[in-house]
Structure 1
Amino acid sequence: MHSLLIVDDQIDLADDLAANVPWHKAGITGVYKAYSAQEALDMMQTEAIDVVITDIKMPGMSGLEFISKVRAVWRDVKLILLSGYSEFEYARTALAHQVSDYLLKPASDQELLEAVQRAVQELDEQWRSVASARRAQQTLKENLPILRQSLLLDLLNSRRFRPAELARKLELLRLPFTTERPVSLMLVRLEDHFDQYEHEDLSLLEYAFTNIADEIFSDEFHTWHAKEVHDYWVFLLQPIAGGASGAEEAEPPHPPAGSSSRAASDADEEPSSDSQLLPSSSSPLERKAAMLQHYVKQYLKGTISIILHETCRFPEEISERYDSLLIQFLQRIGSERELLINSTHAVERGTARHLAQLYEPPQLLHLLEAGQWQPLREKLEAVFTALDKDWADSHEHILEVYHTIVAAVSCTVHKKKQWLSELLPGEYERFVSGMGFHTIAQLRDWTFQVIDALEAHYASVRYDSRQDLILQIQAYVAENLADATLQSIADHVYLNPSYLSKIYKLETGEGISDYLFRLRMERAAHLLQSTNLKVYEVAERLGYQKTSYFIKLFKDRYQCTPQEFKERAGRP
């Protein structure tokens, strides 16, 4: 069943052709009309059109321009041109756009019907060819790597197949895996060196990496690999029936024995049998994995980390094992490199604590709002230093930092009545897709790219006087919190206090007095929680002359006295 679109600016002619020609004889079941080229293009966006009959001479967009636009988007649509001109140039242009027929006006109904029949026959033959067994086999061969990856990812994501269905898929994709033997699972992270490449170059390096892996494992294991959603490479390995999976092989240098997380040795050395080798108790799979680290470093000049699980049932257990390996890997997302971890030797983590530097005043949001770029960079440096020092192996803490930064940036941009997608188009995908960083260094680099882009934008764009005024006020308050009052702020920006208060409330939704009170209470809470200052000392630092008044305000805000707040925080 096919559909036909008739395009002609002569409304009567288009209506007549649509209504009076027996198109069903040509296999047409749906007939559409358009009275201009643009109307036709709009219609093709919503309707599945197979054959188009169009006039050449039309006001606005000509028929030749129209077929050019059609061919650019709908390459399989059959085009038939109607023209009152027999010039060679028209015919030559039509041929260039692979027009099925070129008919001179006035064309009879029979001529039009035969032209459409020929177009429909061409379409049918074309799609029969696509569906042929030979074409299907060729397509399968060309897409075999993609189809294999897709099936493995389905299994890792807990998709269930009936045994016969899975066996058929494995055979179709030429994967020599069987449910009768256990498999090993290996998760590989490509590290910093690989992140420097653009997508096309990285794809070539990943292709080389998987070839090296296949070469190393293929003498003892069937291999099957895919790139998963976190950009890790997953390898499914099954011992070859009758293979010598326990055989000794030449090995590259490896880290000292006795560690479940081993850094690979310098790749400039050749494999040897000295004291740097893995212990003899290491499994064949561990030794193969260490060889992979060595040769990737030697030939691709990059490092990889590997975590593996040696035995699980296929396919029942691979999803659960994959989740377990992924969690262990994400826990070690920080600064550690060239890990080689056997999941049976995973080390328990200690007790989690909050990252204090992230929440100490001045907060990221306030620095961003005030446009204090250098203090903002210094605070972020302190956060990343603490993160790298204390929580380099904690994916959760890195995630906490990422979401705090994203929230602060988003809030600041939206308060200025702007869109992230317009202000930071190059970084917007990261905001949408979520954190995909593998290291603290990647998160740090991305964060400072965003900060640099924001600073450059706000430096180059002239804001109206009200926006400039808000920035001046927030910068002044940030530097003079203890002494700041509505009058002192008004004096600083040379405005009447009443007018200043009105403008600030209109632009931010928060009165200046409320703003000062909120910042002072937040600073007070931090000082009480993180220092040994007395209550009266905190009050003095924040500009309160009467400690009793400060205590009353604090209690109204936090429903407890400052002293009670200190005691809850474990401060004397």
Structure 2
Amino acid sequence: MYKLLIADDERKIREGLALLFPWSQFDIEVVGQCSNGQEVIEFLEDNEVDIVLLDIVMPKMTGIEVSKYIYENQLGIKVVLLSAFREFEYAQESLRYQVKDYVVKPTKYEELVRVFTRLKRELDEQTRAALDMNVPEESGIVERIKRYIEEHYATACLDSIADELNLNVFYISRAFKRKTGMNIFPYLTQVRMSKACEYLQLPDIKIYEVCSLVGYTEPRSFSRAFKKQFGITPTEFRASFGLG
């Protein structure tokens, strides 16, 4: 079944969406609920998700900011936005991040059926394309993915890996998960954090430069990922070596 994450800062809305809509009829299971954008990012770092249903206006990070994160990190996740209003500027901005659809609250049953019927069709087509491919043995694919990430950790993303292997994004994501027990993105993050540790021990390189060298565009995202991995910030890590 396809995995859906629901995010809305109103508990009643997200629980209602999770429990009252017949997701199983669309081969979809709700694998998580989040109350803010930051929780969504953290959930995506550790879990396999095919679709996210995001409220636009949420604390910490908006649905648009989460959509941007998904787009820039090439996570291959379908995004549907929720909003109480048809904010034109939000709708326009979401187009830049390849958001699949835009649903107005309060949500109507027929509208959800329309949106998720189409998404299921897209996901089914991706699945069939992956199954029809003449591909090598999965363990060999996983080793090639790891090698590519090791060599291109600063720029690697799902699309670039798929292009390198000449395989479907949908297929490589699931092959990697089956063989390693983890998603590609968390593995890429581990490699980036390991490289960051090496750079942070070099006194002539600034922390913001390390951020860029390991593939992050925003220092805040880099620091958050680093602290999650090691329990300390990049500044604290560097200080442990007597470096400012």
What TM-score, normalized by structure 2, do the two folds share? Answer: 0.53
Query: 1:3–1:29: 8 Å Cα contact kept in structure 2?
Result: yes
Tell me the secondary structure at the aligned position of residue 57 of structure 1.
Answer: coil
Measure how far apart 1:420 and its partner are.
Answer: 8.0
Tell me the secondary structure at the aligned position of residue 80 of structure 2.
Answer: strand
Aligned residue pairs total: 151
Q: Which has the larger radius of gyration?
A: 1
Change (3 A) 1:15 1:132: same
For 1:18, the equivalent position in structure 2 comes to 18
For 2:104, the equivalent position in structure 1 comes to 104
Counterpart CA distance in 2 for 1:126 and 1:78 is 12
Tell me the secondary structure at the aligned position of residue 82 of structure 1.
Answer: strand
Whether 2:88 is the aligned partner of 1:88: answer: yes
1:71-86 pair list within 5 angstroms: 71-86=71-86
Measure how far apart 1:85 and its partner are.
Answer: 2.3
Counterpart CA distance in 1 for 2:109 and 2:49 is 21
- Deviation per CA, 1:18-53: give whole Å up to 9, x if none: 111111011113431000111111111121111110
Query: 1:18–1:31: 8 Å Cα contact kept in structure 2?
Result: no
Query: 1:86–1:104: 8 Å Cα contact kept in structure 2?
Result: yes
- RCO higher in structure (CA 8 A, sep ≥6): 2
Change (3 A) 1:31 1:109: farther
Query: 2:82–2:104: 8 Å Cα contact kept in structure 1?
Result: yes
For 1:115, the equivalent position in structure 2 comes to 115
Counterpart CA distance in 1 for 2:109 and 2:127 is 27
Query: 1:26–1:114: 8 Å Cα contact kept in structure 2?
Result: no
1:156-555 pair list within 5 angstroms: 422-424=200-202
Counterpart CA distance in 1 for 2:122 and 2:100 is 9
Query: 1:23–1:113: 8 Å Cα contact kept in structure 2?
Result: no
- Deviation per CA, 1:421-474: give whole Å up to 9, x if none: 754489xxxxxxxxxxxxxxxxxxxxxxxxxxxxxxxxxx99xxxxxxxxxxxx
Counterpart CA distance in 2 for 1:62 and 1:97 is 13
Residue type of the partner of 1:86? R
Tell me the secondary structure at the aligned position of residue 102 of structure 1.
Answer: strand
Query: 1:21–1:113: 8 Å Cα contact kept in structure 2?
Result: no
Tell me the secondary structure at the aligned position of residue 70 of structure 1.
Answer: helix
Query: 2:6–2:30: 8 Å Cα contact kept in structure 1?
Result: no
Residue type of the partner of 2:5? L
Query: 1:7–1:36: 8 Å Cα contact kept in structure 2?
Result: yes
Counterpart CA distance in 1 for 2:38 and 2:120 is 24
Coordinate RMSD, CA, aligned: 3.2
Identity %: 33
- Deviation per CA, 1:506-551: give whole Å up to 9, x if none: xxxxxxxxxxxxxxxxxxxxxxxxxxxxxxxxxxxxxxxxxxxxxx
Tell me the secondary structure at the aligned position of residue 60 of structure 1.
Answer: coil
Residue type of the partner of 1:111? E
Measure how far apart 1:12 and its partner are.
Answer: 1.3
Residue type of the partner of 1:99? V
Query: 1:64–1:94: 8 Å Cα contact kept in structure 2?
Result: yes
Counterpart CA distance in 2 for 1:108 and 1:421 is 51
Change (3 A) 1:42 1:423: closer
For 1:541, the equivalent position in structure 2 comes to none
Whether 2:65 is the aligned partner of 1:43: answer: no
For 1:323, the equivalent position in structure 2 comes to none
Change (3 A) 1:421 1:57: closer
For 2:28, the equivalent position in structure 1 comes to 28
Counterpart CA distance in 2 for 1:53 and 1:122 is 16
Counterpart CA distance in 1 for 2:42 and 2:36 is 10
Tell me the secondary structure at the aligned position of residue 12 of structure 1.
Answer: helix
Change (3 A) 1:111 1:423: closer
Tell me the secondary structure at the aligned position of residue 48 of structure 1.
Answer: coil
Counterpart CA distance in 2 for 1:420 and 1:50 is 34
Counterpart CA distance in 1 for 2:32 and 2:118 is 19
Counterpart CA distance in 1 for 2:74 and 2:120 is 15
Residue type of the partner of 1:119? L
